[in-house]
Structure 1
Amino acid sequence: MDTKNKFKLFLPGITAEINDKVALIAADLREKTTVLGYYSTENRNVFLKTEKAYATKEFDSFAEMVNQFIADHSLENITKIAVAVPGPVIGGKSAPQRLPWALDADDIKNQTGIKEVFLINDLEASAYGLQHVAQDDFVKIHDSGNFTPGNAVLLAPGEGLGEAALFWDGSFLRPFATEGGHCEFSPRTNDEVEFYSFLQKIYGIVSWESVLSTGGLFNVYRFLRDVKRQVQPEWLTQEIEAGNFTKAIIQGAIDKRDRICTMTIETFLVFLAREANSLVLKMKATGGLFLSGEIPVMLEQFLNNSVFYKNFIISDKMENVLKDIPIYLVKDEKTIINGAAIYAAFYNK
């Protein structure tokens, strides 16, 4: 992949001298663990100097966590903070449901004394982070060789379902957030109608996040177990009780250890392909589909089989478009925090 051509992002401040040799903090904010990184800018790039993970719920506010990070590393002259938030950001504020507190950029400024604070959706940040990904961390899933520059999309099932897009303006890609993961899931087959009914009793409104996430993977599994009467093996019962379900079910499918493992992963792949298809078509993403997040990385060997791609190109009239969409797996685990740093460093002049 030629990342220089495909990830020429709109960064209007990248050539401004005022943005050179700047010290900033970026954060990948999550429900359980938040990672903070100290970055500096040099020669139109960002460089991670040090980072530390904190238990999110041990702090009464995000600002308290930042101040602790600054104290832990004796940091000075920080001029910017970028916070990648797992939820919508509107008017410099966000209140993600999975976090113990809300965020307000002005409050963070006042409580940390840092003059520029940016809140950015985590998948939008991840889209910016694609520019920082090494060539070896892009795994080609499909490339017809018939590439047409255009919009691109990013799909990331993990703790939630993140979706972002990059608008191609003819010269640059401009990332933006979506909340597509909260759109309502729609069944296609009789078995999927059963699955929808199963989830509706639990959630009321069944979103795609209820299907494509770590919790969604478990939903697929327990539907197969409880409704389709597939047997839960004893070893998997132990893994579930130990809190290791996601890794265990995927490894069980890799090892072909039990039928329910294979069925769970194949079903999940069908749903992943379908939502990828929808996202690509809605955004007319001829520039590519990029899969990232915890689950796709673990599913790498399955993404290269026929189940995913055959279901991705199913369409009423658009198969000729879908077959030429390049598909890549992004294995870099730091796209969110790196992207937040890039945004804070270079988006503003």
Structure 2
Amino acid sequence: MEAENKFKLFLPALEAESNNNITLISADIRREYTQFALFVTKNRKIIPKIESTYSTTDFPSFSEMVKQFIEDNSLTNIAKLAIGVPGPVISGRSEPQRLPWKLDANEIRRETQIDKVYMINDLEATAYALENFDDNTVLTLHESDDFSPGNVAVLAPGAGLGEAGLFWDGICLRPFATEGGHCEFSPRTADEVEFYHFLQKIYGIVSWESVLSNEGLFNIYRFLRDVKHQRQPEWLTQEIEAGNFSKAIINGALEGKDRICTMVIDTFMIFLAREANSLVLKMKATGGLVITGDLPIMLQKFLNKEKFYKNFIISDKMEAVLKDIPIYLVKDTNTIIKGAAVFAAFSEE
């Protein structure tokens, strides 16, 4: 028996016969690499057929990378192209700070000769990926005792801090993008004020992305090392030099390898719970909190601990609301490319 999907999305062309048995390309663009996948639609689902990864900086434009993927796989009859972008998409255009070039859907359409090009924020794409997820992909971290359907919040720390939402219209959920990760970080305790001043000297404006991301994880670490004078072990020095910091610090905490590893992860989880709290309250997300991204997947053991939940429900007046919010972890690392494909495949005929 097929597992039940917890999320019913608004996809107006899901049933359209014109969207059945079509071939589309989906792309997840990142600073260092871009992932491509070829999908075929069948029975209101997207079926992956081919996957390839390219170095983003090896190409003078995104269109050239698309054409390379098509040539490498001898593809024909591509009906649609879906693009997950790490930044805001406005009127079919985007200028992501992490990418070496600007993106314009109309230019990409002309240069690739693909009639329908869909450009979507990467976290909005992640929200659309919930359409194809079930209990095999989504881990329930906290079940609500008094569930009330409503908006859903999506929080995804990784290379940056992605945030999105799904608006509950009374029948379905409608994904939308935000740039909430760039809102300013607010300290609560004396130590956090000290941490804020440490980051302010580096960034000027301190956003939540400077705290909840791979870079943020390292910021917490170097604050504890340089300001709080925690010892940096030799094995971790080697991992940092090799560019393996995030994985090494998380594994160090999981194994209880060194005090500073545990301190970094404990601090990160407190901040993650707090920003999750803020996002849920701002969206009145009674339908749930979805946590995903490379870091949370690696931090699953810590998310399962009661300490995360206790920090999540801390509030001046809203604890009664927060305690009934279901919390989910999406364990799939390919949400962007799948969600962009879902959006392109079924948002219109």
Coarse TM-score class (shorter-chain normalised): over 0.9
Deviation at 1:5, TM superposition (A): 5.8
Letter paired with 2:152: A
> Which residue matches 1:326?
326
Deviation at 1:147, TM superposition (A): 1.2
> Which residue matches 1:57?
57
Q: Is residue 4–residue 135 contact of structure 2 (8 Å, CA) maintained in 1?
A: no
TM value normalised by structure 2: 0.98
Letter paired with 2:42: E
Can you list the C-alpha shifts for 1:130-149, whole angstroms capped at 9, x where unaligned?
12124222112111332111
> Which residue matches 1:194?
194
> Which residue matches 2:231?
231
Q: Does 1:220 align with 2:196?
A: no
Distance across 2 between alignment mates of 1:201 and 1:212 = 18
Distance across 2 between alignment mates of 1:175 and 1:235 = 43
Q: Is residue 26–residue 39 contact of structure 2 (8 Å, CA) maintained in 1?
A: yes
Letter paired with 1:348: E
Distance across 1 between alignment mates of 2:103 and 2:169 = 31
> Which residue matches 1:305?
305
> Which residue matches 2:23?
23
Deviation at 1:126, TM superposition (A): 0.4
Distance across 1 between alignment mates of 2:257 and 2:169 = 48
In the TM superposition, what are the counterparts of 1:144-155 in structure 2 within 5 Å? Answer: 144-155=144-155
Letter paired with 2:97: Q
In the TM superposition, what are the counterparts of 1:198-347 in structure 2 within 5 Å? Answer: 198-347=198-347
Deviation at 1:79, TM superposition (A): 1.4
> Which residue matches 1:86?
86
> Which residue matches 1:348?
348
Can you list the C-alpha shifts for 1:12-51, whole angstroms capped at 9, x where unaligned?
1111111111111000110111101111111111111101
Q: Is residue 140–residue 327 contact of structure 2 (8 Å, CA) maintained in 1?
A: yes
In the TM superposition, what are the counterparts of 1:67-216 in structure 2 within 5 Å? Answer: 67-216=67-216
For these two proteins, the number of residue pairs brought into alignment is: 348
Q: Is residue 132–residue 335 contact of structure 1 (8 Å, CA) maintained in 2?
A: no
Identity between Structure 1 and Structure 2 (%): 66
Distance across 2 between alignment mates of 1:3 and 1:130 = 13
SS at match of 1:224: helix
Q: Is residue 3–residue 131 contact of structure 1 (8 Å, CA) maintained in 2?
A: no
> Which residue matches 1:43?
43
Instruction: In structure 2, list runs of 5 or more residues that go unmatched.
Output: none
Deviates more, 1:328-337 or 1:136-145: 136-145
Letter paired with 1:294: D
Distance across 1 between alignment mates of 2:306 and 2:269 = 10
Q: Is residue 63–residue 111 contact of structure 1 (8 Å, CA) maintained in 2?
A: yes
Can you list the C-alpha shifts for 1:283-322, whole angstroms capped at 9, x where unaligned?
0001100110000000000111122111100000000000
Q: Is residue 62–residue 103 contact of structure 1 (8 Å, CA) maintained in 2?
A: yes
Distance across 1 between alignment mates of 2:132 and 2:30 = 21
Distance across 1 between alignment mates of 2:239 and 2:146 = 44
Q: Is residue 152–residue 288 contact of structure 2 (8 Å, CA) maintained in 1?
A: yes
Q: Is residue 27–residue 337 contact of structure 1 (8 Å, CA) maintained in 2?
A: yes
Distance across 1 between alignment mates of 2:5 and 2:287 = 11
Q: Is residue 182–residue 207 contact of structure 2 (8 Å, CA) maintained in 1?
A: yes
Q: Is residue 78–residue 114 contact of structure 2 (8 Å, CA) maintained in 1?
A: yes
Distance across 1 between alignment mates of 2:150 and 2:281 = 12
Distance across 2 between alignment mates of 1:108 and 1:295 = 32
Distance across 1 between alignment mates of 2:6 and 2:135 = 12
Q: What RMSD in Å do the two structures reach over aligned CA positions?
A: 1.1
Q: Does 1:13 align with 2:27?
A: no
Distance across 1 between alignment mates of 2:47 and 2:146 = 35
SS at match of 1:88: coil
Q: Is residue 5–residue 132 contact of structure 2 (8 Å, CA) maintained in 1?
A: no
Distance across 2 between alignment mates of 1:323 and 1:161 = 24
Deviation at 1:121, TM superposition (A): 0.2
TM value normalised by structure 1: 0.98
